[in-house]
Amino acid sequence: MEYVTPEGFRLDGRRPLEMRQLRAKIGAVAKADGSAVFEVGNTKVIAAVYGPREVQNWSQQLSDKALVRCEYSMANFSTGDRKRKPKGDRRSTEISLVIRQTMEACIMTHLMPRSQIDIFVQVLQADGGTRSACINAASLALADAGIPMSDLVTSCSAGYLNSTPLLDLNYAEDSAGGPDVTVGILPKLNKVTLLQMDSKLPMDIFENVMELATEGCKAIANYLREILQENTQQLEYRRGL
């Protein structure tokens, strides 16, 4: 199947280096300490953060830093697939672990010893790039909760199809079986917190694809900062500051 036309267009009409439209909203869950909805194209994710609060299970309490827990799930209506997925399936457990480890890299856990932070992420609509969308939603929700972070962590994917590097794969491109690289970075610190690849790539092509995903992460970081600034201005306006 041809994923890039001779004219240089993808299946959804984008150019190879073009990202899908981004949308985000803060404060989606009223009872959570912080929450956010993040959308990229037709992929939509909601994240809620509770904490820092007292550790519920004393045996898990850490004396020198906060305990970070993460739970990932997909709504049954998020895909066209009508099979019901069990809540604790392997993929959900693996993605929960990936999100938690990525978030731990940016949260200043040492400032909140003997406490716990719970991150809940749910995919409402899935059209490729769900892992990255979950990380971006969680990052925004943590900022909304006022959790101290060294930087906003952002994530983006890139792939290689029809001998062309492609930014931000949708579901059709993701399912094509080509190499897919997911990157998570701390943009201001210029540090990589996540790097996943599901098949082999020659080193020169891998560097191009990773660079493309990193640029996508930086573009998302700029967008998330704009959303946070707008939210802050609205709060100031409401309080008459």
For 99, the 3-state DSSP assignment is helix
Closest to 156 (Cα-Cα) out of 171, 134, 141, 138? 134
The predicted structure's pLDDT at residue 91: 86
Which token pair is 231? 């939210």
Closest to 29 (Cα-Cα) out of 152, 144, 146? 144
The predicted structure's pLDDT at residue 87: 59
The predicted structure's pLDDT at residue 118: 95
pTM surpassing 0.85?
A: yes
Cis peptide before 52 (omega within 30 of 0): yes
Identify the segments of the chain with pLDDT beneath 70: 80-88, 241
Euclidean distance between CA atoms 134 and 44, whole angstroms: 9
The predicted structure's pLDDT at residue 2: 84
Euclidean distance between CA atoms 150 and 164, whole angstroms: 35
The predicted structure's pLDDT at residue 62: 84
